[in-house]
Structure 1
Amino acid sequence: MSEIITHGGFRIGAGRKKLEATKVIRVPASRILEIKDYLNKPKKEVEISDVRQIDPITHLEIPLAVERVQAGFPSPAQDYIDQKVDLNEHLIRNANATFMVRVNSLSMLNIGLDINDELIVDRSLEPKHRDIVIACIDNDFTVKRLMIEGNERWLKAESPDFPDIHFNEGQTLEIWGVVTRVIKSFR
């Protein structure tokens, strides 16, 4: 007598467990092991202080006044709103490659970056000469201006109280992203 084996159909406990929604993303093949290691770390470890992924789903429109504001002598302004601006469209070029990070030093003070200013960083942009970048140097993160002259690259501080960073033999530099915007609080 042969045993009847059935395939398919509903079986209790079979199939993928539905813990939470998943999403497929593309990552460079060279970074797969690094990402797997990061995901396997205990949840209390944080590699970048106070980093927030920007939610590409939110939609917020605020009014945009037609008239520009004088920075010098005041002029009569019109109470006229022409259109609305979605801050996501205005501030973010590539939502899937964008994150925010807070400034934690005064090394970029001369270009207006203060402690706790929030930087919008796009990882999909190719860093160019004089871009403000988030860089990882020997596993330490910093925000500096990228300087490129021929084959030489260094990071320029925008404050006389901090040195520029020139690289020695064996040091590693990885550009994590290009700063595209700064959000500054005045109150």
Structure 2
Amino acid sequence: MVGQRGGSRDGAGRKPLYDEPTKVIRVPESRILEIKNYLTGSNKAKFNDVASITLVNPSSVMSIPLASEKVAAGFPSPAQDYVDKTLDMNEHLIKNEAATFVVRVASLSMRDAGIEIDDELIVDRSIEAKHEDIVIALIDNEFTVKRLMIEGDDNRWLKAENPEYSDIHLQDGQEMLIWGVVTFVIKPFRKR
């Protein structure tokens, strides 16, 4: 056996996790964590809604032309092809610079509210969350984006806006911190 390379060797290779044959399957990337938790028997909720959080830095003015006429959903008139003023995007999107963050979305749990994977959310931490606001919440040291539902004085829960995802009702011992309120969604419509 000295000098032998390649081929199978007793005791070499990956050790099986299961005492039966396995099969590779394709699953949506947004559901991988949920499936892993199911397979490992973890009964603790895990969230995978937030990919990144970045503090905004509006160090420069970014003005873009603002058309003076509103655009109908149909074909616009060529006669209305002029610009009346400009719009500063920082001023438009950011009300409190020190408390505003951009959060990149990592799941489809809010799809029916128009929020999808890789969308960027403008989140203001200085706003007090109200019933039905879309919020970034911290549960068990993990971030999630959901709609805040407030029923009475003591019943607060988080609603997913996609029937494939579960709503979040706190279990005994769990605490929820509302980290910030979503004020805008930045969504690319053109594939890069």
Instruction: Give the structure-2-normalised TM-score.
Output: 0.70
Alignment of 1:88-167 (within 5 A): 88-150=90-152, 151-167=154-170
Identify the residue that residue 74 of structure 1 maps to in structure 2. Answer: 75
Aligned residue in 1 for 2:16: none
Unaligned runs of 5+ in 1: 1-47
Equivalent position of 2:179 in the other structure: 176
The alignment-based identity, stated in percent, is 60
Q: Which amino acid aligns with 2:171?
A: N
1:52 to 47, 51, 54: 54
Matches of 1:59 and 1:96, distance apart in 2 = 16
Specify the SS of the correspondent of 1:67. Answer: coil
Moved over 6 A (4+): none
2:64 partner letter: I
Q: Unpaired segments of 5 or more residues in structure 2?
A: 1-49
Greater RCO (Cα-Cα under 8 Å, separation 6 or more): 2
* Alignment partners' CA distance in 2, 1:60 and 1:81: 16
How much does 1:75 deviate?
Answer: 4.2
Looking at structure 2, the residues matched to 75 and 81 of structure 1 have their Cα atoms a distance apart, in angstroms, of: 14
- Distance in 2 separating the partners of 1:137 and 1:51: 16
Secondary structure at 1:125 match in 2:
coil
What amino acid is the match of 2:142?
A: D
Question: Contact between 2:159 and 2:167, CA under 8 Å: does it hold in 1?
Answer: yes
Whole-angstrom CA distance in 2 between matches of 1:49 and 1:155: 19
Q: Tell me by how many angstroms 1:80 deviates.
A: 1.5
Secondary structure of the residue aligned to 1:146 is strand
Q: Which amino acid aligns with 1:109?
A: R
Q: 1:186 corresponds to which residue?
A: 189
- Give the conservation status (yes or no) of the 8 Å contact 2:102–2:120: yes
Letter of the 1:183 partner, please give it.
Answer: I
User: Cα RMSD between the aligned structures?
Assistant: 1.2
Q: TM-score if structure 1 supplies the norm length?
A: 0.72
Count, aligned residues: 139
2:51–2:106 Cα contact (<8 Å) kept:
no
Amino acid paired to 2:167: D
Partner SS, residue 126 of structure 1: coil
Contact in 2 for aligned 1:56/1:96 (Cα 8 Å): no
* CA distance in structure 2 between the partners assigned to 1:147 and 1:53 by the alignment: 26
